[in-house]
Structure 1
Amino acid sequence: MLQTGQFRRGRLCVLRGFTPPRNQGMTPGLSGSALTASSLDYDYYLSLAIRAILWAAGKVPAVQIETPEAPRTVLQRESGGRVRFTLSASVPQADLSARFALRARDGHVWDTREEKLAVSGTASLDYVVPRVPAGDYFVDLWVKHAGKTVNWASAAVTVEAADRLSEAKIPESIATGEPVTGKVTVTLKTPGAKQLRLRQYDNYGRLVGERVLPVPTGGGEVAFSLPASRPLSLLQHLEIALLSAGEPVESVRLPFFYRDFFPPRDDIRWVMWDGMAGDSFIGRIIAREFRKAGLDTQYTGLSEWAIRENMWHIPYVTRFVDRKTDWYQEKRTRTQDDLVRDPCLTDPAYRAKLREDLLQAVQRVTRFGTGEFSLGDENHFVAGNFDLCMSPTCVADFREWAKREYRGDLNALNKEYGTAYTSWEQVRPATLEEARKSGNYAPWVDHRRHMETVWAGIHQYAREVIREAVPGARVGYEGSDTRAGTYHAADYWQIMRAMDLNNLYYRDFQGAAVRDFADPGTLYGAGWYGGYADNRNEEFMRWYPWMVLFQGTNSYWVWMGCGSAGAVMAFDASLYPFFAANAEEMREIKGGVGKLLMHAERQHDGVAVYWSPVSVHVREFTPGMPEADDVLNSTVRVLDDVQVQPRVLSYAELEKLTPQRFKLLFLLQAQALSDAEAEAIRRFVRDGGIVIADLRPGVRNEHGTARATGALDDLFGVKQNADAPDLKKAEPELLQPARKLPQAVVDASLRVAGGNATGRAGETPVMIQNTFGKGKAILLNFSWADYLARERTARTAGADYAFWPINEEWRALVRVLCENAGVVPPVSMAPSLPRTQVVRFRSGNAEYVGVLAGLPRDPNAYTAKEAKLPAPRQTTIRFGRTAHAYDVRAGRYLGKVDQVKTLVQAGRARLFALLPYAVSEIRVRTSAVSLGQETRVRAECITGGKPGRHVLRVRFIGPDGKERREYQQSVVAEGGTAELSLPLALNDAPGTWSVVVQDVATGVTGKAALRVTGSPAGSDWSQKAEGEW
């Protein structure tokens, strides 16, 4: 393993026989599982490396130490023995001290001793090994002078015993509520009664169960059981000790897991993409530091280090991509005439193999309390404009889809397709090229719609397979389908019926659609963030977590951990300053604020933005039509910029489209509407709603077939040309009030037929308004699709908010359109600050108002240290009603007010609670409890009215004044009252504890003493947890 040599005057030292892990460099990696790896191994590997470095540098210690010749000294426990070290010095050395330590494999120090020493020539120094349980140990020796180490050495010792534990078995995992059962074989060679002591420790070092059993005379197999305990950690250890006359003869320590100890679903999750150096001893340091920072979940390949540090694991069990176009390959191989996806998602053989692979992947991690599964990162139906999939199985599946779509009426399909099929077996989809040649687009639009069901369907299938093994598992993808496009096959409504886990790359529309379409309980992440270049600054990292929290996220996903240019952790395992700042914000959010908002309902302002996936396909053969993705993202952004919060509404939710729920519907990029959709929109307006469309609403049906008369032409008071639009760029001018708008795409083929055009773009009518029933329909006949693109061109100006003025005309228009529709946000600011997000959450009669001014520069400017945040600006926030107001982040009462004058700092979130009463006190009650029993705590909000739902942060402070973080929790107090129970450990400290309860919304805090009685167990010879490094 060690080879030395000389080159001229220099020394060479080569470490051989192993390949160091990437994170270590000079020492061997793990030789087994991280779950059972000993930190001692790394200690001694480092000792060897340091020895080599000192020798190569010619640093010869004044005192040399030789250990026994044998690599390991074997001693008998019954007779004892000693380990002899030989010390030598070429020059007499006085005033030395020798310090010994006896360390077990788990790091526990069993014995230390120190003696004075002088070395002249050669001398022996013996360490007498005390009577300890059988096992492997190291005897460490430090020779010191004036407190400084002169030299050190270690010798391996194995202590053997006549009586021993031959074999011990327990289940790899158990369910919560089950006892810990197992068998142990005991070999006895000495007389006298023997006992087995069982101790269950959780991963916080808490002793949660203990039992002593007699060993049959002569030994043999002993079955045992420990009563069920309530777990606070996923990983547990069972310590089995063989006792003779009360002394431990030998012990073993076996890990096991509570496989159904799942992460909480009612609180914020913080997820890290990182393998955490799984083959390296450094992995534990990495995992430990991330856990200390507050991260609770590790993602991608399993890191057992993360499990050891009390983190959950989300596995990356597959990835759905087209292999011929995936961007993570050296060369893409698909050609335009290759129209079969690889793999085909309807191929039975592929699905059978997928099922097998998924079940195998799931079984590998079920013991780790895994309740969420990722189906991949950056999944895609196909990368590029390829008209997939035309495989035999997809064509057959298309026929079945068409039968359902046309209700088994082949004549209806023939009429739509312009075909004369005589049987369903003749039906086939068309490519876009074929549709263009025939002039009939229905077979192609239906083909794209079918592919949407196939794409959503494969994720649904995977979820069903996984749930066979883990019932109720949350399954989905992340970083996928971030652009609305025809070849992506992503209908967000269908996608969110197929999954309940989704983390995006942040986009305004996609984030809103996923949030609004998600089923309750979905694990929703609004976007990856972390080590990207424009994230690597404190300004972004303090702004981002609140921005997405206010968007409704309940999980945060960080890319990535340690060991790359995109890491948030340095190579010394410290957090980079930008991420340390983020961790401060996240601790506050995870400390109860996130849970507070999760248990409230995010409010919209009565504005709906319609999602029409069929129209995304129709746009593909409408020359000059703006990109649907640009229109939708620009719309959500401009509404947010005028502090109006919309809800994305799907074609499948038309029953929700009523004037009682929505005052205003933005019908954008909606060329293709079914008769049912058109009628629902018409009914909405007739009953008093207002609809605003941009270009060409309802000119085609749900199959993409042109209508002779637009489905909504009478609603808007216009005549549209479905087959021959004349889309061009022009500069709209409005008459009421007079206003010029930026250049935009208009449809010059539009004619007014009963409506009132209140603007023109050259000769083209724009802003056509028409009263219909109790409501109004407005056809803009232009699009603000380039709202975001215009911003991007202005960001390079190098000044704060340089992007803001360029779109003021669009914001002014949208603001007026909303106001004329009766949409006036309940919360307003004067003066209003650029790009300030204002959101509301409601929980019963309580309302929470978030205010967050955006960053005034491109975040890259902060990374490059080219900009600083401007000084805070004063504004008045008007709440629209009088309430007892609290500054949530400051924990400060603001009075019974309808407005507050305050400073708003760009990138720094403000959160206000508006309550119908003041909270005067948090009353906390406890009752005395014995160690190992459950303590019960009752906390009550004392208010000036009937209390509603509150979230309380509960902390437990031990008799030593230190917080027990494993007991910290946030609890929901329905009706202002919460009762919780907590199992104390057998080795917790007796005495007077403090229970501190803080109301998250108001900051009001209560405190009570908790009397804990009893004598701690497990403090005799056992080691609660592995020693520190």
Structure 2
Amino acid sequence: LAPIGLFGISLTDDSSAARELPYGAYTNLKFYSYLKELYGDFEGTCKAWGWTPPEEEVAAEDLPLNPYVQVAFHRFLEKKYGNLEEVSKAWKVKLRQFAGATQATVKAEREKGNLVPSNDVAEFKAAFQGDANTDDPFGRITRASVKAAFDAGIPGPWIDAQRFLELEWYNDIADINRASQAVLPDSWVGTDASYYGNGIAECFSLVPYVCPYYSHTALKIAVARGRMSKPGCYGVCLGSYGGKPANMSGRRGQVWDVALSGGTGLYYWILRYYALGPELTLSDAHALYQCEVIEELDGGLGEMLATCPPVFSPIALLRSQNSGLCDQLEAKEQPVTNHALSFDAFLGAMEDLTLNPWIITAEDLESGWLKRHPVKLLLLPGVNSMSEAEMEAVRAFVNGGGVVVADVLPGRRFPNGTPRSQAPLAELFGVQYTPLGKDQKAGVRGIMTGKSAPDGGELSFGEVLADVRVKAGTATALGTVEETPVLLRQQVGKGQAFLFNASFSSYSTYRAEGGDMWVPWSEVMKSTVSAAGLERPYPFTSQGKDTPGFRLMAFDNGRSTLLGVTDTGCADFGGLRRPLEITLPQASYVYDVRAGKALGKLDTLKVDLPRSGQRVYSLQPYEVRSLQVRLDKTTCGGGETVVLTAEPVIDPAGKRDLHFLRVEGFDPEGERAEMMRRVVQCPEQGPVSVPFTFAYNDQPGVWRFVVTDVSSGVSRAVRLQVKGGTR
């Protein structure tokens, strides 16, 4: 990395963990260690799965799948041939590692007429009498036996294998990152463009460089998890690979999506099938507009957004890896939802209420994260699988005064996917749960009617799915689908539990469409948020009407706030510019940061936002009246240094929040000199000093320095006479 000036490596692109155990031995052996950590021993593993793997039946000419036997075979090959290269020559097969010497390879070569691998297997089996390892019953757990169990309706081995493989996938990235940083401390190894799987939240907690670019949801997870765990580059990966239309704007929007979601940076990649060289050019059709946005962010706004942390609400949203994996099991039962769809819906609902939840994992729940953070609302989207420790954390949270909201009854499966005979959280939600009988389906489809609150009016939600396994117990049902209760709620200890028991995942569609179908679920979400004692920090309307289709993100700047606003689109508005009215928490001096314009002291911000447009506003308790700028000399020669000092003047006077100043130098021809461009951070009080050294061949004449306060747009210029150089 160092010799060519790079500091980031993308380890993966468009990839994810394997779905099944490999044929090779060594990953299987690591899987056994994982199972021992979970269940203790082989007997405990079989008990958790409700299944005991049978003894392997092996044909005389075949190599067993038992990994311990395979390892012994590899040692036999190494002893016979000396090394892997010689094995490859003898077998006439390119083996990259001994793990590739499997029964699948032996069989494939035999079918081609190459009997050398088969003869080696026969020689090995004739001499090998077994050892202590090959007697280990874990050796019966193989790719084939796990798949056979799954096909027989036993999900535990299958789901545990996938949990393990996802863990290995992102742990590999973290391990390689640590190894790289041991050699080059400021290097980063991560993943881009690629991973949107079930372990996404866990992955983005471990690696310091994550750049998803196909999904806003993935981006929000990356930012939340990254900023919860460690410094790093949590942003977007941009690319140039030709053939893109000139009017393509997706990646332009993506840069702003990163910046206005709390991202801290971006990477730019170029796809080439040969070495980079000085002849490299970028296609304007694909790169120009990206560079335009990058240049704007590079003018100080990017520093502001990356330095000011995003404001997180006292809300926790669970991203459940186990539930995502178990959705493949739920799919056989006509489920009400799946975890990914529900997660998107809950995240979208929070965005519509201008709330920004923390995104937590099962490990967070188990380790007491809720106790360590001032959370008032816990959201469980499509959570079908939970551990006992997770469920106990939920109970303690609600009994202690928290509010929990779930769209489907959580915890119906063990973490390995095995169904529970009863739902342990049924009592918390005040319902009765009856598992499905043979060939029954969980979902019933019908028109849903009900109330968002006990004293609310009757609402029609259109056609939804509800879970027929759930009946009201101590909870109050505010609605029905056919005869199935929905919108259930009850008081529990000092807190409350809400169970929709309906396909809330439709919310994502309704918020894209807007109009009357969006309103009922919006009212339900307002009611649940209100029950937790939360208010919308920045309630907004369009032409006086509640609407989805805008995304607001607040960034903490001391007494001030940066407010990012994005038009995400809504089908009930077709104009080119969409009116937006935002109610501010208190009257503030408001500045349009991108336009560099003061909007006055406001308690309501009214703007017309272009379709898919973005704006950034600085909300300040003081007014920026002017900039004091001076140079320590009026003339300067080549090789000499001039010091510029600058200070924002605010009213009322006092300590300032974070301000960045953009300093730009212009030569006597009026051309901007890139080497004279700076973005500097101001102290809380007093001026900031910026030195500039002129080269001997810098153009003589009157140079101009323009200093701009990034937050307010207030600007001032000073001039300097530069003499001709003497060399």
* TM-score normalised by L of structure 2: 0.76
Shift in Å, 1:845: 1.5
Distance change >3 Å, CA 803–CA 453, structure 1 → 2: same
Pick from 386, 391, 396: which aligns with 1:683?
396
2:714 alignment counterpart = 1004
Q: Report the Cα distance in structure 2 between the residues aligned to 1:538 and 1:653, rounded to whole angstroms.
A: 40
Question: Residues 723-734 of structure 1 correspond to what in structure 2 (within 5 A)?
Answer: 726-731=441-446, 732-734=448-450
SS of 2:697's partner is coil
1:939 alignment counterpart = 646
Question: Residues 913-924 of structure 1 correspond to what in structure 2 (within 5 A)?
Answer: 913-924=618-629
1:823 lines up with 2:534 in the alignment: yes
Q: Is the 8 A contact 1:700 1:722 kept in 2?
A: no
1:620 alignment counterpart = 328
Q: Report the Cα distance in structure 1 between the residues aligned to 2:499 and 2:244, rounded to whole angstroms.
A: 39
Pick from 774, 782, 786: which aligns with 2:494?
774
The amino acid of 1:396's aligned partner reads L
SS of 1:710's partner is coil
The amino acid of 1:884's aligned partner reads Y
2:659 alignment counterpart = 950
Q: Report the Cα distance in structure 2 between the residues aligned to 1:426 and 1:682, rounded to whole angstroms.
A: 39
Question: Residues 142-221 of structure 1 correspond to what in structure 2 (within 5 A)?
Answer: none
Shift in Å, 1:614: 0.9
1:841 alignment counterpart = 555
1:965 lines up with 2:674 in the alignment: yes
Q: Report the Cα distance in structure 2 between the residues aligned to 1:802 and 1:531, rounded to whole angstroms.
A: 34
1:813 lines up with 2:529 in the alignment: no
SS of 1:814's partner is helix
2:235 alignment counterpart = 525
Shift in Å, 1:790: 6.9
Q: Is the 8 A contact 1:525 1:553 kept in 2?
A: yes
1:49 alignment counterpart = none
SS of 2:589's partner is strand
2:344 alignment counterpart = 633
Q: Is the 8 A contact 2:402 2:494 kept in 1?
A: yes
Percent same amino acid among aligned pairs? 24
Question: Residues 59-78 of structure 1 correspond to what in structure 2 (within 5 A)?
Answer: none
Q: Report the Cα distance in structure 1 between the residues aligned to 2:245 and 2:256, rounded to whole angstroms.
A: 14
1:323-346: per-residue Cα shift (whole Å, max 9, x none)? xxxxxxxxxxxxxxxxxxxxxxxx
Distance change >3 Å, CA 514–CA 875, structure 1 → 2: closer
Structure 1 stretches lacking a partner, 5+ long? 1-361, 485-489, 564-570, 792-800, 859-867, 1018-1029
Distance change >3 Å, CA 660–CA 619, structure 1 → 2: same
Question: Residues 301-700 of structure 1 correspond to what in structure 2 (within 5 A)?
Answer: 362=1, 366-382=2-18, 386-406=19-39, 408=40, 412-418=44-50, 425-426=138-139, 428=141, 433-436=147-150, 440-482=154-196, 484=197, 490-518=198-226, 519-526=229-236, 536-537=246-247, 543-556=253-266, 575-576=284-285, 580=288, 583-622=291-330, 623-625=333-335, 626-654=337-365, 655-658=368-371, 661-700=374-413
Distance change >3 Å, CA 497–CA 835, structure 1 → 2: closer
Q: Is the 8 A contact 1:542 1:907 kept in 2?
A: no
Q: Is the 8 A contact 1:856 1:906 kept in 2?
A: no
2:589 alignment counterpart = 884
Q: Is the 8 A contact 1:994 1:1010 kept in 2?
A: yes
Q: Report the Cα distance in structure 2 between the residues aligned to 1:884 and 1:956, rounded to whole angstroms.
A: 29
Shift in Å, 1:778: 0.7
Q: With a CA cutoff of 8 Å and minimum separation of 6, indicate the structure with the bigger relative contact order.
A: 2
SS of 2:462's partner is coil
Q: Report the Cα distance in structure 2 between the residues aligned to 1:926 and 1:785, rounded to whole angstroms.
A: 60
1:738 alignment counterpart = 458
Distance change >3 Å, CA 873–CA 630, structure 1 → 2: closer
The amino acid of 1:370's aligned partner reads L
Q: Report the Cα distance in structure 2 between the residues aligned to 1:714 and 1:956, rounded to whole angstroms.
A: 69
Q: Is the 8 A contact 1:604 1:645 kept in 2?
A: yes
Structure 2 stretches lacking a partner, 5+ long? 54-134, 274-279
Question: Residues 889-904 of structure 1 correspond to what in structure 2 (within 5 A)?
Answer: 889-904=594-609
Q: Is the 8 A contact 1:924 1:939 kept in 2?
A: yes
Shift in Å, 1:470: 2.4
SS of 1:476's partner is strand
Q: Is the 8 A contact 1:728 1:746 kept in 2?
A: yes
1:852 alignment counterpart = 566
Distance change >3 Å, CA 517–CA 447, structure 1 → 2: same
Shift in Å, 1:942: 2.1
Q: Report the Cα distance in structure 2 between the residues aligned to 1:778 and 1:533, rounded to whole angstroms.
A: 50
Tell me how large the CA RMSD over aligned residues is: 3.5
Distance change >3 Å, CA 689–CA 965, structure 1 → 2: same
The amino acid of 1:822's aligned partner reads G
1:878-922: per-residue Cα shift (whole Å, max 9, x none)? 111122221212222223322233333323322211112112222
2:426 alignment counterpart = 713
Q: Report the Cα distance in structure 1 between the residues aligned to 2:526 and 2:157, rounded to whole angstroms.
A: 41
Q: Report the Cα distance in structure 1 between the residues aligned to 2:344 and 2:672, rounded to whole angstroms.
A: 46
Q: Report the Cα distance in structure 2 between the residues aligned to 1:722 and 1:532, rounded to whole angstroms.
A: 54
The amino acid of 2:48's aligned partner reads E
Q: Is the 8 A contact 1:507 1:633 kept in 2?
A: no
Q: Report the Cα distance in structure 1 between the residues aligned to 2:311 and 2:204, rounded to whole angstroms.
A: 20
Q: Report the Cα distance in structure 1 between the residues aligned to 2:358 and 2:223, rounded to whole angstroms.
A: 9
The amino acid of 2:35's aligned partner reads A
Q: Is the 8 A contact 1:875 1:901 kept in 2?
A: yes
1:567-586: per-residue Cα shift (whole Å, max 9, x none)? xxxx997734x965555444
1:559-615: per-residue Cα shift (whole Å, max 9, x none)? 87999xxxxxxx997734x96555544432221112111111112333332111111
Q: Report the Cα distance in structure 2 between the residues aligned to 1:528 and 1:811, rounded to whole angstroms.
A: 35
Distance change >3 Å, CA 958–CA 393, structure 1 → 2: same
After superposing the two structures, state which structure 1 stretch, 839-848 or 681-690, moved more: 681-690
Q: Report the Cα distance in structure 1 between the residues aligned to 2:580 and 2:253, rounded to whole angstroms.
A: 19
Q: Report the Cα distance in structure 2 between the residues aligned to 1:533 and 1:367, rounded to whole angstroms.
A: 32
Q: Report the Cα distance in structure 1 between the residues aligned to 2:208 and 2:164, rounded to whole angstroms.
A: 22
Q: Report the Cα distance in structure 2 between the residues aligned to 1:949 and 1:773, rounded to whole angstroms.
A: 43
Q: Report the Cα distance in structure 2 between the residues aligned to 1:820 and 1:689, rounded to whole angstroms.
A: 9
Larger helix fraction of residues: 2
Rg bigger for which structure? 1
Q: Is the 8 A contact 2:239 2:271 kept in 1?
A: no
Distance change >3 Å, CA 415–CA 720, structure 1 → 2: same
Distance change >3 Å, CA 561–CA 437, structure 1 → 2: closer
SS of 1:947's partner is coil
1:330-372: per-residue Cα shift (whole Å, max 9, x none)? xxxxxxxxxxxxxxxxxxxxxxxxxxxxxxxx4xxx3221111
1:757-796: per-residue Cα shift (whole Å, max 9, x none)? 22221121212212112211111111223444678xxxxx
Q: Report the Cα distance in structure 1 between the residues aligned to 2:240 and 2:612, rounded to whole angstroms.
A: 16
Pick from 674, 694, 697: which aligns with 1:987?
697
Q: Report the Cα distance in structure 1 between the residues aligned to 2:327 and 2:179, rounded to whole angstroms.
A: 36
Distance change >3 Å, CA 424–CA 404, structure 1 → 2: farther
Q: Report the Cα distance in structure 1 between the residues aligned to 2:242 and 2:267, rounded to whole angstroms.
A: 13
Distance change >3 Å, CA 823–CA 959, structure 1 → 2: same
Shift in Å, 1:803: 6.5
Q: Report the Cα distance in structure 2 between the residues aligned to 1:742 and 1:530, rounded to whole angstroms.
A: 44
Shift in Å, 1:998: 0.9
2:470 alignment counterpart = 750
Q: Is the 8 A contact 1:717 1:752 kept in 2?
A: yes
1:86-120: per-residue Cα shift (whole Å, max 9, x none)? xxxxxxxxxxxxxxxxxxxxxxxxxxxxxxxxxxx
Q: How many residues align?
A: 617
Shift in Å, 1:989: 4.1
